[in-house]
Each structure stands twice: as C-alpha cells, then as structure tokens.
C-alpha cells in the first residue's frame, strides 16, 4: 500500500509555504473583532485584503492591521472592485508600497451583475505584474484554455471560480475544474462561489491545492463555527483526495461475507 | 496656503508642507499606508522631501477587509 505522509504534503505557492490550504477573505464581517476570531478559527495563515482610501475625517476609525497582525498572518492584497487593467495595476502597486507585498491576488471584473472576470484585461495585467516582479494569484473563469494561458505567462497560482462571487452556489462545473487541475503545474485554488463547508471538501477531492473563501464564512449565522467547519472540510477533502477513492460500481456489492448465513 | 485634494476632498494646507506633514496632521501612521501624488506613488523615504503645490491631488490608501 502506498504511504501518504501528510506532514510531507506541503502547500507551496511560488516560494511561500503555507500551513493551511484554506485562504480566507476578510470582507463582510460585522466587526474587525469577528474577522479576527473567524480567521483564527479557520486556521488560515493567508488572508485576502482590499486597498481603499484612508478615512481622513475620522481619525479614530479602527484599522484591520490592528486586529490581524501582518507579521503573523500573510496579507494577500486584492484588486476587488477593479474593472480594468489600469485600476488593478495601480491598486497592486500601491499595495506593494504599503508594506512590501509582492504576492497579490489579481481580480478584474467584467460585468457588474455576474461579477464575472474579464479575461482579456486579466491576461494583460498578469503579464505586466509578472514583469514587475509580482507573484500573481489570478482569479479567472473555469475555462481550461485561459487557465493554461495564465500559467504560460507566469501566474503563480490559478484561481478559477466555483460559481459567481458571493453566490454560495458551490462548484458548478466540476469537469472544467478537473481539466484545469490536470493541465496545471502551478497550484489551482478554487476562488469564489462556495456556499458551505462540503463545497470545500469537493474542491479538495477534485485535486485543488487550496480553497479561498469569504462570504460562505462571513455570512453564516455563526461565522466562527463555519470557519472551523471549512478548516476541517479542507483537511478532510485533501485526505480523501490523497487516499485515492474506491471505484464506482453500477450495482450493489455486499460489504459482509456471503458465506455462513443462517439458513 | 495651498488648495489641494486629499482622497477626493478639497482642503487647504500650509505652503511648503511635505507628505510627512500631511500624514502627521491627519494622524495617519505612515507604516500602514501608501501615498500617491498626482497619480505617482511616493516611496516612504521621500515623504519629508516631497513638498505639496497648489492643485495637487493626494491619495492615501490602506488595507481594509476584502475577499
């Protein structure tokens, strides 16, 4: 029997080793306190963050950095809200200047209603960011050809959507996600659209290297408990994937011996 | 005094103020933000050197919660 040593099952994006295969978003929480508690319960050591204007009027406004120490939890700056390459590049260059972050999440949306990614702008920006030395985790459609293209131009990770951002629909096209995983040498991380913990297990069982979740945790009635559920679901799904599942049979095959039955 | 814009808001500041002076005035911790002056990012080492002129547009950004 093949031995699987989970301690040697390392999750690496570019040269960054992460302890958890679950990356969590920090949006939509009721308070920074709740954000910090959910991140802790999730076991994630990388979180996505957005770049926005400082509120210069309210000087006492609490800061995310006061609740999540970027020295302990890796920040992954994103370009949420950007609809073109120029805005996305501007946002990530500013993010890098805040504190030297080079690993970033690129997300360029093409449609306000579906929040579907604009792949033409996304590919254009990925090329520029890679040239500038960024390590780019790219949010993309679940199209295997675009995913391959992103890898070819230097993306550090491919992040196909499970379903539209914030929809909670779960993985809509398992076949495409499997094709992307099979074709990819860089990590494939499911991003967007998951609704509940079992969705994360399914993603991991398909062979995803990781999962990125925000709304499904933040909008649960009990976000802290859901964060822990996602943590367990990701571990469970990964173990299941590494175990190698049984073959599927069309008809019933009894689990107990057929001999020695009471007549 | 010089008329300028900070994060989209019109305001006036003392002539010859630097980026450093502005961050101090608004009690912003320079370690937690990035600054853009007229669309160009100003590196932290230049905050004291960079003086503000009339009609300058300044953006000061930070990290907030996001997905």
Break chain A into its structural domains and give their ranges: 11-243
* Nearest-CA distance B32 → chain A (Å): 6
Q: Which of A25, A33, A53, A162 is most worth mutating to test chain B (most B CB atoms within 10 A of its CB)?
A: A53
What span, in angstroms and rounded, lies between the C-alpha atoms of A63 and A70?
12
Q: If you average pLDDT over every residue of chain A, what do you get?
A: 93
What span, in angstroms and rounded, lies between the C-alpha atoms of A137 and A155?
6
ipTM of this predicted structure: 0.92
Contacts of B26 in chain A (CB under 8 A): 54, 56, 59
Contacts with B, A 55-94, CB within 8 Å: 56-57, 59, 63-65, 75, 77-78, 80, 90, 93-94
* DSSP codes joined into one string, A90-115: HHHHHHHHHH---EEEE--BS-TTT-
Using the Cα atoms of residue B41, residue A52, residue A112 and residue A47 in order, give the sign of their dihedral.
Answer: positive
Q: CA nearest A209: which of A221, A229, A191, A194?
A: A191
Angle between helices A144-152 and A174-183 (to 10 degrees): 30
Contacts of B63 in chain A (CB under 8 A): 49-51, 64-65, 75, 77, 95, 98
Beta bridge partners of B37: B40, B58
What span, in angstroms and rounded, lies between the C-alpha atoms of A244 and A73?
32
> Would you call A56 and B28 a contact, using CB atoms and an 8 Å cutoff?
yes
Q: Compare A122 and A58 and report the one with higher pLDDT.
A: A122
Q: Which of A97, A103, A165, A212 is most worth mutating to test chain B (most B CB atoms within 10 A of its CB)?
A: A97
Residues of chain B short of pLDDT 50, as ranges, are: none
> How confident is residue A51, by pLDDT bands cut at 50, 70 and 90?
very high
Q: What is the pLDDT of residue A198?
A: 98
A163 touches chain B (CB under 8 A): no
Chain centroid to CA A231: 13
Q: Which of B6, B36, B66 sits opposite A94 (nearest CB)?
A: B36
Per residue in A58-101, pLDDT (tens digit) is: 877 788 988 999 999 999 999 998 999 999 999 999 999 997 77
Among chain A residues, CA nearest to B6? A56
Q: Which domains does chain B have, with CATH numbers?
A: 2-61 (3.10.20.30)
Q: Please count the helices (runs of H) and the strands (runs of E) in chain A.
A: 8, 10
Q: Compare A55 and A216 and report the one with higher pLDDT.
A: A216
Q: What is the pLDDT of residue A4?
A: 61
Among chain B residues, CA nearest to A165? B67
For domain A11-243, give the fold: TIM Barrel (3.20.20)
Contacts of B35 in chain A (CB under 8 A): 97
Q: Compare B2 and A224 and report the one with higher pLDDT.
A: A224
Q: CA nearest A137: which of A179, A183, A192?
A: A192
Among chain B residues, CA nearest to A35? B65
> Would you call A78 and B27 a contact, using CB atoms and an 8 Å cutoff?
no
Q: Which residues of A are catalytic?
A: 105
- The H or E element that residue B4 is part of is strand B2-6
The residue ranges of DSSP E strands in chain A, in sequence order, are 11-13, 16-18, 22-25, 46-53, 74-77, 103-106, 135-140, 157-160, 189-191, 210-213
3-state secondary structure of A263: coil
Is residue A137's pLDDT more than 60? yes
Q: CA nearest A76: which of A97, A45, A55, A118?
A: A45
Q: What is the pLDDT of residue A101?
A: 79
Angle at A75 between CA A108 and CA A136, to 5 degrees: 40
Among chain B residues, CA nearest to A96? B34
């Amino acid at each position: 029997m093949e031995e699987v040593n989970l301690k040697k099952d390392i999750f690496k994006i570019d040269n960054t080793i992460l302890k958890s295969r679950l990356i969590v978003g920090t949006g939509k929480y009721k308070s920074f306190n709740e954000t910090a508690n959910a991140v802790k319960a999730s076991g994630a050591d990388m979180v996505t963050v957005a770049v926005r204007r400082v509120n210069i009027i309210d000087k006492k406004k609490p800061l995310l950095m006061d609740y999540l120490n970027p020295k302990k939890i890796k920040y992954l700056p994103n370009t949420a809200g950007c609809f073109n390459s120029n805005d996305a590049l501007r946002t990530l260059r500013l993010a890098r200047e805040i504190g030297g972050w080079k690993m970033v999440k690129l997300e360029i949306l093409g449609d306000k209603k579906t929040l579907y990614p604009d792949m033409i702008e996304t590919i254009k920006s990925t090329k520029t960011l890679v040239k500038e030395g960024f390590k780019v985790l790219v949010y993309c459609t679940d199209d295997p050809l675009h995913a391959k293209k992103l890898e070819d131009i230097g993306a550090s990770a491919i992040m196909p959507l499970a379903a539209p951002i914030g929809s909670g629909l779960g993985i809509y096209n398992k076949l495409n996600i499997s094709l992307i995983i099979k074709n990819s040498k860089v990590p494939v991380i499911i991003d967007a659209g998951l609704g509940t913990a079992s969705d994360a297990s399914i993603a991991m069982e398909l062979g995803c290297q990781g999962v990125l979740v925000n709304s499904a945790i933040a909008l649960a009635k009990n976000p802290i408990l859901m964060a822990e559920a996602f943590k367990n679901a990701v571990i469970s799904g990964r173990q299941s994937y590494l175990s190698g599942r049984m073959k599927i049979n069309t008809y019933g095959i009894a689990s107990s011996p057929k001999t020695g039955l009471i007549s | 005094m010089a008329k300028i814009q900070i994060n989209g808001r019109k305001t006036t500041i003392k002539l010859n103020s630097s980026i450093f002076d502005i961050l101090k005035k608004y009690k912003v911790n320079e370690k937690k933000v990035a600054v853009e002056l007229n669309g160009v990012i100003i590196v932290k080492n230049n905050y004291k050197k960079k003086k503000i002129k009339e009609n300058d547009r300044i953006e000061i950004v930070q990290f907030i919660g996001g997905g």
